[in-house]
Structure formats: structure tokens, C-alpha cells
Amino acid sequence: MVRSSQQLHTPREPAPLRAAATVLLLRDSAAGIEVLMTRRSATASFAPGAYVFPGGHIDDADEAAKRIATRRPTQSRVQRTQAIAAIREAFEELGILLAHHADASPVRAEEVAAMDRGDTAGTAFADQCAARGLVLDSDRVFTFAHWMTDRDLPKRFDVPFLVARMPEGQTPTADESEQFEPSWVHPADALARHEAGTFFMIFPTVRTLQRMAAYPTVDALLAACASEAPLWTSCPRAGLLKGEDARYMEHESPYGELALVCPDGQLLHALDWQSEHPVPLLKNVMRLTAPNPSAMTGPGTNSYIVGDAATGYIVIDPGPNDFDHIGRLWRATKGDIRMIVCTHSHADHSPGAAPLQALCKNGKPPILGLASKPTARATARFTPERELADGERLVLSGANAAGETVTHTLRVIHTPGHAANHLCLVLEEDGLLFSGDHILNGSTTVVDPPDGDMSAYLDSLDTLDAACEAGGIDFILPAHGYVIGFARTAIGMLKAHRLKREAKIAAAMQKLPEGTPEEWLPLAYDDVPERMWPVAARSLAAHVARIRQLAAPQ
């Protein structure tokens, strides 16, 4: 866990979450699913003017209304209460009632019209239904998603997005106080109109419609909800892009960085990629991205600066031999560099080490790492001044302005695979993993034989997973891309992806037993753009070597 003393921003307590429920009323059309949406009042305290699904707070009386509500055998008590609240809100806001009579006959539109839709409490709603002999159809309301409002917003809700089929014979009528303009829309149309600026929606609504668009019919969508678990759960985070707020779910690449830099949801961190200035991630960690963006390097190679003015600095991966980049690293540290560490020998990581060392006139920081093996390409040769042992600790220590001793400790982990001389580093006091090229954000690394080895790569993933478990490591700082959150989940997903790809390659080899790698490639990487196949061919070769090694007699 990151030390509070190293956080950049003053802690704040996000607004408390309030229980609510939202229902997506659905119907089939010739063009696919349609969902009922309304426009919120321009004076509403939450999402004014936005097009939304009906919903609102869960009242205490919604629990009591279970006496007149149905239940699926697999539906939990909480889900049943949420369904009742959603039914009540749909009635109050749109005059739609999901209910039936005791004899199973549906509620008629004229019965609904005769009921009081005013600002009723749940008990009054339930009493009205009970007086008419109506039973609420809570068993026909299913959980689709679970959203928690972003931490930076002043009003926050913990809300399931529920789905139900629109009852026949009823017509939505807005209450004209909270909701206006009830509209049936196709998810794709709503998204296109939102993009054009004519149909404003908030982030969770947009993301929900994006996923809903994948279902051809209401039955298909309801079947997907049969497990009772939400298809996803998210509490988005916000950052700044070009000065505007931008929001992300947990699986999206900037999420981990926002969680590290602004854990309490402060809307302060800029996500724009640039190479002119170092980006502070913590008080003791900065990232300076080299100006070498490409298909292979993403936005560029990340050089990391660990330490502070009291302790001096360690530079991880000084990058390519780029005069301006090296000068910026030197200025960011005021020349007080105690060590330079290269995670491996590739040309976008280690060539900047010697020029950076030469700039440090007040002390010559040692260049550390692992020497490249004979299998390395000629462009990826590297010899450190001292080789780092597996498990070795690199320590920075000094007294801060208050006279307190501050320590930053980087532990070395040998991780061959991407390159034979690859290593990673753990910042022990703050639970951070500097992963070099072993783990990237937004792509998988290339494993290029003979210096790259797929079995070693997978074994090193296991080593890193064990280190994350033992050290409580939540964040991975890769050499390319944003900080990665949920470290162990990311490692598990990466390994699963590699093994899934390997299974496709093995299937291609079985289909064409006399084939060549060039013939297997289109079969195994049919989900990858063809322009990337020359790069994919390198990892395919590594997988083929591993498959043959595993099949060989022991």
C-alpha cells in the first residue's frame, strides 16, 4: 500500500453512497431492442437535462412492499427490494406499472391511470396496489449492471441497473416535474445522437447502452442476466484530457493511474501524453516519457525517477540515446542521481544510461542491470557496470526537512522471457512494481526468440504474481502506457491471454501439421490486424518452440 506521506494530493472523503435503483424497460422492434428513456429536469440536482432511465432512491417502505411482490427462487432479498423500488419509480415517473392481479390477469392501463402518481412514499404506493388486489412483478425484473457514482461527484449513488420487459397495453407518460419526453430509442441511435451532441447522457448511461447494443432481442438480454449477478460492476474514475474531464471504467487503461495518483477521486490528474515535463505520480515517483512513440512503443518509453530531494534519485530505464530526453531526466533530478537501472538491453531502454551518467558531474552514478546474453540482437547489447542479483535491494535514504529519515527501497526480481536479461523492480515501501517490458498497459509484449523465451516469460509472470501477493502490490508501472491497477488481476489476465493464444497456435499446427509458421500465423492471429502480423510472428515463434518443447519426450 502506498504510504500516505507519498501521496500528492490531500486526502478527502468522497460523498457517501446512497442506495438507489434504475430500471431499463425494454421492447423488441424490427430494428432490434428499444429502451425507454426520459429527459431529466434542467433544474435537477443530479444529471440535469440528461436522458436517463427511470429510477430513484430506495425507500424503507420498499422492503415492506415485499408482502405484495413476487420473487424468483434465485432472487436475493436485496435484489427483490431493488426491483420493488424500480417498479415504484417507473410508476411515479412514467405511469408504467409492472404488476398483475391475483388471478394472473395483467393490470389494465385505465387502472394505472386511476392511481395517484404524486410524490408518494413507498408505503402509499404499496397500499394503492394492495387495495386493488395487485401483485408487483418483481420476479420479472433482472440485474443487468451495478454502478457506483464516481468519487469526485458531490452526489453519489449505489445503484443496480435493472432490466424488464415493457408491459403490454401501457403507454409511458412523464410526470412533467422530474422527467420529460419519454422516448423509445435503439441503443445505437441514442449513442450516435449523444456523440452528435443532441442527446446528452451521463457516463454510466453511455456505457450501459454500448453493452446493451450487443443483444439482438429482449429475450437474449434477459437470458444473459439469468445468473443473478450483474454483468459488470463499476465505480468510474475521472481524469483530465486536454483540460476536460474524461471518465474510465476499471478495465480501461487510465483507470489504474487515476487510482494511484488520486485515490479519493480528486479530479486533478492530467492524462495527456507529452515528453516535455516529468509527470508526478507520487511525491517519490515521477515518469518522463521519451519522445519515441510508435506501434511498438505506444506513447513512448517511460523512464521512471524514484526518490526525492532528501534521498537523491534512482532512474529506471533512461531510454534511448535522445539528447533532449536525457537532459530532462538530469534536470528533473537536479543531477542528484545515485543509480541508473536498466530493466533490459533493448534499444529504447538502455542506450541513454551512459550519456545520462556523463551529465552527473558531482558524482558518477553506477549503471546497473543484467548483461545481455549472446542471444541478444546486435542492437540490444548492454553491459552494466555491475550486475544486480535476484532479490538484491537498492536503498535510498536521507533526512527530510522535518529531520525524519525517509527511505525508498527497490528490490530486484529477475524476470527472463521478453529478454534473457530482463529484470523488474519492487518499490517495497509503497507496493509498486516497475515491470519494464514484461507487462505493458494496452498491449502484450513481444517475446522474440532466441533471446526471448515463452516458458521463461510465463514462469516470470508467476514470479511476479507471487511477489505482488507477498508484498500487497496493487499497482504496476510499465515501460509503456499508463499505470496498471489491480496488479494480480492484470497478471492473471495476461497469462490467460498468452495460454489462449498458445492454444490457437497449437490448433493451427494440428490443422496444418506440415505447415510453416507463415501458414499458421493467419489462423492463430486472425483477431489481430494484419499490419501487426510481422510483429506477432516473433511471439508465434516463441510459442511454437514452447509447444514443441512440451511435446518432446522427457
In a domain, 5, yes or no: no
Q: Which amino acid is at 6?
A: Q
Q: Which helix (H) or strand (E) holds 386?
A: strand 386-387
Q: Which amino acid is at 421?
A: N
Q: Reduced to 3 states, what is the DSSP secondary structure of residue 270?
A: strand
Q: What does the alpha-carbon distance between residue 438 and residue 457 come to, in Å, rounded to a whole number?
A: 8
Same-domain check for residues 446 and 473: yes
Mean pLDDT of 322-339: 97
Taking phi over 0 as left and psi of -120 to 50 as alpha, with beta for the rest, 516 belongs to beta
Asked whether residue 71 carries a pLDDT value surpassing 50, the answer given is yes
For the record, the C-alpha cell of 206 comes out as 453511455
Q: What pLDDT, in 10s, does the model give residues 5-37?
A: 999 999 999 999 999 999 999 999 999 999 999
pLDDT > 70 fraction of the chain, expressed in percent and rounded: 99
Whether the CB-CB separation of 158 and 19 falls below 8 Å is answered with yes
Q: What does the alpha-carbon distance between residue 436 and residue 429 come to, in Å, rounded to a whole number?
A: 19
Mean pLDDT of 153-182: 92
Mean pLDDT of 512-519: 96
In a domain, 326, yes or no: yes
**pLDDT score, position 361:** 82
Whether the CB-CB separation of 337 and 356 falls below 8 Å is answered with yes
**pLDDT score, position 60:** 87
Q: Which amino acid is at 410?
A: L
Q: What pLDDT, in 10s, does the model give residues 33-47?
A: 999 999 988 887 778
**pLDDT score, position 119:** 55
Asked whether residue 121 carries a pLDDT value surpassing 60, the answer given is no
- Which of 347, 258, 360, 274 has its CA nearest to residue 315? 360
- Residue 191: give its domain's CATH number: 3.90.79.10
Q: Reduced to 3 states, what is the DSSP secondary structure of residue 1?
A: coil
Q: Which amino acid is at 44?
A: A
pLDDT > 90 fraction of the chain, expressed in percent and rounded: 90
Whether the CB-CB separation of 268 and 9 falls below 8 Å is answered with yes
Q: What does the alpha-carbon distance between residue 442 and residue 302 come to, in Å, rounded to a whole number?
A: 14
**pLDDT score, position 123:** 57
Same-domain check for residues 143 and 265: no
Query: Running DSSP on this structure, what letter comes out for residue 310?
Result: T
In a domain, 9, yes or no: no
Per DSSP, helices labelled H in 142-299 are 187-195, 203-212, 218-224, 255-261
Same-domain check for residues 76 and 120: yes
- Which of 462, 461, 400, 401 has its CA nearest to residue 436? 461
Task: Print the domain residue range for 264.
Answer: 238-272
Q: What is the DSSP string of 12-51?
A: --PPPEEEEEEEEEEEEETTEEEEEEEEEPTT-SSSTT-E
Mean pLDDT of 495-504: 97
In a domain, 12, yes or no: no
Please, what is the end-to-end C-alpha distance for the chain in angstroms? 43
Q: What pLDDT, in 10s, does the model give residues 347-394?
A: 999 999 999 999 998 889 999 999 999 999 998 999 999 999 999 999
For the record, the C-alpha cell of 233 comes out as 460492476
Same-domain check for residues 64 and 168: yes
Looking only at the bridges linking them, the beta strands covering 386-387 and 367-369 are: parallel
**pLDDT score, position 433:** 98
In a domain, 190, yes or no: yes
In a domain, 394, yes or no: yes
Per the DSSP assignment, residues forming a β-bridge with 406 are 398
Q: How many CA atoms lie within 13 A of 437 on its CB side?
A: 28
**pLDDT score, position 137:** 97
Same-domain check for residues 364 and 512: no
Q: How confident is the model at residue 429 (pLDDT cuts 50, 70, 90)?
A: very high
Distance of CA 398 to CAs 315, 392, 404, 420, 533, Å?
17, 20, 8, 35, 50
Same-domain check for residues 63 and 206: yes
In a domain, 1, yes or no: no
Distance of CA 219 to CAs 16, 26, 49, 143, 173, Å?
36, 10, 31, 14, 25
Same-domain check for residues 340 and 480: yes
Whether the CB-CB separation of 92 and 38 falls below 8 Å is answered with no
What are the φ and ψ backbone dihedral angles of 247, each rounded to 5 degrees?
Answer: -115, 150
Asked whether residue 120 carries a pLDDT value surpassing 90, the answer given is no
Average pLDDT along the chain: 95
Same-domain check for residues 202 and 292: no
Asked whether residue 396 carries a pLDDT value surpassing 90, the answer given is yes
Q: What does the alpha-carbon distance between residue 386 and residue 38 come to, in Å, rounded to a whole number?
A: 66
Mean pLDDT of 240-246: 96
Asked whether residue 551 carries a pLDDT value surpassing 90, the answer given is no
Q: What does the alpha-carbon distance between residue 150 and residue 202 come to, in Å, rounded to a whole number?
A: 11
In a domain, 447, yes or no: yes
Same-domain check for residues 416 and 481: yes
For the record, the C-alpha cell of 33 comes out as 431492442
Q: What does the alpha-carbon distance between residue 173 and residue 183 come to, in Å, rounded to a whole number?
A: 10
Asked whether residue 69 carries a pLDDT value surpassing 70, the answer given is yes
Same-domain check for residues 27 and 97: yes
Same-domain check for residues 136 and 73: yes
Asked whether residue 122 carries a pLDDT value surpassing 70, the answer given is no
Of 210, 235, 260, the domain-final residue: 235
Number of separate domains in the chain? 4
Q: How confident is the model at residue 550 (pLDDT cuts 50, 70, 90)?
A: very high
- Which of 330, 76, 25, 285 has its CA nearest to residue 179? 25
Taking each helix axis as running N to C, give the angle between helix 517-524 and helix 533-551, from 0 to 180 degrees, rounded to the nearest 10: 110
- Residue 290: give its domain's CATH number: 3.60.15.10
Q: In what order do the strands lie in the sheet with 312-316?
A: 279-282, 285-289, 302-308, 312-316, 337-341, 367-369, 386-387
By residue count, the chain amounts to 554
Mean pLDDT of 108-131: 82
Same-domain check for residues 207 and 144: yes
Of 458, 490, 522, the domain-final residue: 490
